[in-house]
Structure 1
Amino acid sequence: MFRCIVLIPSYNSGALLRRTVASVLAVWPDIVVVTDGSTDGSDQTLEDMLPLHPGLKVLHLAHNGGKGQAVLHGAQWAMRAGYTHVLTMDADGQHPAQSVPDFISVAQRNPGSLVLGVPVFGPEAPALRVWGRKLSNLLIGMETHGAIEDCLFGFRVYPAKAMIAVLEASRFMRGFDFDPEVALCMVWQGVPALNKPAAVQYFNVEQGGISHFHYVRDNARLIFMHLRLLFTWVWRACCGKPPRSL
């Protein structure tokens, strides 16, 4: 039986966490929030919501392990609780809560597939962020024969069992490299990918916008990821074997 829960990893998301959770609760009752070693007290802003929403669950990780680690923890809990799929979205309000039911409906009709959001940017989107993702998408598109249109957008529905298997088999995909690599590896494992447009909104500092992306550290991590995956793809292709992650 198909059951989907919205999974929101959060690290020091401030007031945006409560706003994001409230916006999802307006359209979908089942949510698991994973606070990834947060120290700003943002998880406590959800306490009064828990008695009113039985489908809302908050999990706490003592130490910050990265987005991929938080998603893995939440997905493992979701599977134990009987959910078959997880829709991941960021805690910072950039992803469209109003599209949650539509994405889950697509996943229900295609339960063996990834449903990947393709961002539709507004005029407020930072040009550096928009153009910076083009190279990643070019490389991932080449390595998956165009199956993945956008590799960095975290608004997605995953078959939980397949995603957990990919994550548990790798020592990578625990930080900002999670979104591109997990999708690529699942496609390499034979999971079909469906690409669906979704609006994205960026908030400035005055609006409470928060970003934990470190341009030097995390871009270096992404470059290392692409070199590693490109090597894997080329080597396996030369050997006549299907690609697998390192």
Structure 2
Amino acid sequence: MKLCILIPFYNHPGAIAQVVDSLKPFGLPIRIVDDGSDEPSQRALADIAAREPSVSIQRLAINQGKGGAVMVGCDAALAEGFTHALQIDADGQHQPGDVPRLIEAARRQPAAMISGQAVYDESVPRSRLYGRYITHFWVWVNTLSFEIKDSMCGLRVYPLASTCQVWRRNRLGRRMDFDTEIMVRLSWTGVAIVSLPTRVTYPVDGVSHFQMLRDNLFISAMHTRLFFGMLLRLPILLGRRVVQRLHKVAA
């Protein structure tokens, strides 16, 4: 297992240095994919790269969205020989103390995708929280399973070979719809999804790039696309559930 940390980044100059500092104790290479950020953000990244030899910056000239940045970063990491990438958001909402548990789970089950299952405090916006409940429902419908506990948490470990294969075979959403779609499609291919509770805090002065109208439209289109994809795969998914149930009974 060869693991790197992957941070999709877009205009978070005030938070990224603290995020990188919090990850240094794990001794892992840190890859930051700069998704077409502005000049102050580019300067912040340049300062980090100049003083931190473990940090590499991959810059995209045009903003592609979080999903686009993650796909570019994962493809590059796989090409460099990494087997797994731990994705963490650049805004500081995830707790670095939870990272070792995800890494250990990935070592125990290297073929699985390990995902954080968000545990929120009072800082979470109510609109974001209710929107997640709607997504949870459609994910359970589209996978015919409760295996995926949280498809929107940005703290996760990807098994790179199977993950990169998904977008080579399918056209995926490239913005806020990506996190959910890649998890559902990995589940469809038979990749196990392992969820671990992780604390999530929304900083008071944090910057959110979630655009209510645009991103909700993308997410709605994604759920519709996945629903019809589920119908096409219905016999396979039902058969897999029957086999899993029989295994549990036999055990």
Measured after TM superposition, the shift of residue 149 of structure 1 is 0.6
Q: Does 1:226 align with 2:234?
A: no
Query: Which runs of 5 or more structure 2 residues have no equivalent in the other structure?
Result: 239-251
Q: Paired residue for 2:196? A: 196
Q: Does 1:111 align with 2:110?
A: yes
CA contact (8 A) 1:75 1:164 kept: yes
SS at match of 2:208: coil
CA contact (8 A) 2:105 2:114 kept: yes
Q: Paired residue for 1:30? A: 29
Measured after TM superposition, the shift of residue 200 of structure 1 is 0.2
| Equivalent-residue separation in structure 2 for 1:93 and 1:118 (angstroms) | 16
Query: Which runs of 5 or more structure 1 residues have no equivalent in the other structure?
Result: none
SS at match of 1:15: coil
- Provide Cα deviations, 1:11-36, integer angstroms capped at 9, x if missing partner: 11121112211211133432100000
| Equivalent-residue separation in structure 1 for 2:170 and 2:35 (angstroms) | 20
| Equivalent-residue separation in structure 2 for 1:50 and 1:228 (angstroms) | 39
Select between 226-235 and 22-31 the one with higher mean Cα deviation: 22-31
Q: Paired residue for 2:167? A: 167
Runs of 4+ off more than 6 Å: none
Structure 1 vs Structure 2: percent identity of aligned residues?
Answer: 35
CA contact (8 A) 2:3 2:28 kept: no
CA contact (8 A) 1:28 1:100 kept: no
Measured after TM superposition, the shift of residue 52 of structure 1 is 4.2
Q: Does 1:146 align with 2:146?
A: yes
| Equivalent-residue separation in structure 2 for 1:111 and 1:201 (angstroms) | 28
Q: Paired residue for 1:133? A: 132
Select between 48-57 and 121-130 the one with higher mean Cα deviation: 48-57
| Equivalent-residue separation in structure 2 for 1:40 and 1:13 (angstroms) | 11
| Equivalent-residue separation in structure 2 for 1:21 and 1:87 (angstroms) | 13
Could you state the TM-score of these two structures normalised by the residue count of structure 2?
Answer: 0.89
CA contact (8 A) 1:29 1:53 kept: no
SS at match of 1:157: strand
Select between 60-69 and 227-236 the one with higher mean Cα deviation: 227-236
Matching residue's letter, 2:216: N
| Equivalent-residue separation in structure 2 for 1:114 and 1:174 (angstroms) | 19
**Distance of aligned partners of 1:48 and 1:14 in 2 relative to their CA distance in 1, 3 Å threshold:** closer
Select between 72-81 and 22-31 the one with higher mean Cα deviation: 22-31
| Equivalent-residue separation in structure 1 for 2:66 and 2:73 (angstroms) | 11
Matches of residues 1-246 of structure 1 in structure 2 within 5 Å? Answer: 2-144=1-143, 145-204=145-204, 207=205, 209-237=206-234, 240-242=235-237
Matching residue's letter, 1:74: G
SS at match of 1:210: coil
More helix by share: 2
CA contact (8 A) 1:17 1:42 kept: no
Matching residue's letter, 2:225: R
- Alignment length (residue pairs): 237
| Equivalent-residue separation in structure 2 for 1:109 and 1:236 (angstroms) | 29
| Equivalent-residue separation in structure 2 for 1:157 and 1:194 (angstroms) | 10
SS at match of 2:158: strand
